[in-house]
């Protein structure tokens, strides 16, 4: 039977590409979103992928949603923690609310999703978790202490949870995208974006599909020896 994959923030941008790619590869996909009903409806109609509206920052909502997905589609064996937001500002201007929102969504959401599916993955002795971090969690970025902290946290979270899942058939990996052409990057002022692209050795922004390709690789049944890894997909911008 086809494995069921939940992609958070799976109806737009990078998540949309991940959901579509997983579906094309034969997985049964549940795409989550939070606020943009119009985009989710268009996505569902175009792709035939089931969409589920819930806030990843709300553990109770996540638990209700994962129960619903299980009842409708089957046991959840793959989770792609992709939902993320920015609330940029320098330390001088950043509010505590802007800090909390980004940490609760980007990092808390990751915890909530893993918490909701972990016991079932342990019971089934199989799981694939991919967390979408960021180049800015690896390298830092001016005006993004909240986002960089959350994304850097994702990389630590990944390595720690990978150790808990390793002997149980559950892999936990991260992808650290560089700058990808999505709505999130479209919000960056043109003059700043020009400087960013100038620093990317490949000479362009990445495409959402180029991140989806990495996800497909990491969730494969025969990727069981890859865990606790971070796959950097950034056009050569930041090399470890």
Smallest distance from ligand NDP to CB 12, Å = 4
Stretch that binds ligand NDP, among 50-58, 63-71, 163-171, 216-224 (CB under 6 A): 50-58
- Please list the residues that pair with 33 across neighbouring strands: 53
- The two three-digit tokens of residue 121, written as one number: 């993955």
- 173 part of the interface to ligand NDP, by CB under 6 A: no
Any residues with CB less than 8 A from the CB of 20 and at least 6 apart, and which? 47, 49, 212
User: 166 vs 193, which CB is nearer to ligand NDP?
Assistant: 193
- 235 part of the interface to ligand NDP, by CB under 6 A: no
User: 170 vs 200, which CB is nearer to ligand NDP?
Assistant: 200
Tell me the number of residues near ligand NDP by CB under 6 A: 30
Measured between alpha carbons, how far is 23 from 48 in angstroms, rounded to an integer?
A: 9
Binding residues among 144-163 for ligand NDP as defined by CB under 6 A: none
- 171 part of the interface to ligand NDP, by CB under 6 A: no
Active site residues: 147
Spell 216-226 as b/e; 16+ CB within 10 A means b: bebbeeeeeee
Q: Among 19, 171, 173, 182, which residue interacts with ligand NDP (rule: CB under 6 A)?
A: 182
Distances, alpha carbon 220 to alpha carbons 97, 105, 130, 190, 201, in Å: 38, 27, 11, 38, 29
Q: Among 22, 79, 80, 85, which residue interacts with ligand NDP (rule: CB under 6 A)?
A: 85
Distances, alpha carbon 13 to alpha carbons 88, 182, 188, 207, 228, in Å: 19, 5, 15, 9, 25
- 32 part of the interface to ligand NDP, by CB under 6 A: yes
Q: For binding to ligand NDP (CB under 6 A), which residues are involved?
A: 8-9, 11-15, 32-36, 39, 55-57, 82-85, 105, 132, 134, 177, 179-180, 182-185
């Amino acid at each position: 039977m086809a494995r069921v994959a939940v992609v958070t923030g799976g109806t737009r941008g990078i998540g949309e590409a991940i959901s579509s790619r997983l579906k094309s590869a034969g997985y049964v996909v549940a795409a989550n979103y939070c606020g943009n009903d119009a985009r989710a409806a268009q996505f569902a109609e175009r792709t035939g992928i089931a969409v589920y509206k819930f806030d990843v920052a709300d553990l109770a909502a996540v638990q209700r949603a994962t129960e619903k997905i299980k009842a409708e589609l089957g046991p959840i064996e793959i989770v792609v923690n992709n939902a993320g937001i920015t609330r940029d500002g320098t330390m001088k201007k950043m509010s505590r609310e802007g800090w909390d929102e980004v940490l609760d969504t980007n990092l808390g959401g990751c915890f909530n999703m893993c918490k909701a599916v972990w016991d079932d993955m342990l019971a089934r002795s199989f799981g694939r978790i991919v967390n979408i971090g960021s180049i800015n969690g690896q390298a830092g970025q001016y005006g993004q202490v909240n986002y960089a902290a959350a994304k850097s946290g994702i990389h630590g979270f990944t390595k720690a949870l990978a150790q808990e899942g390793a002997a149980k058939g559950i892999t936990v990996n991260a992808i650290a995208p560089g700058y990808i052409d999505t709505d999130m990057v479209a919000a960056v002022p043109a003059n700043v974006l020009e400087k960013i692209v100038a620093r990317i050795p490949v000479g362009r922004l990445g495409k959402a599909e180029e991140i989806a390709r990495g996800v497909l690789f990491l969730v494969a049944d025969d990727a069981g020896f890859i865990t606790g890894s971070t796959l950097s997909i950034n056009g050569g911008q930041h090399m470890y």
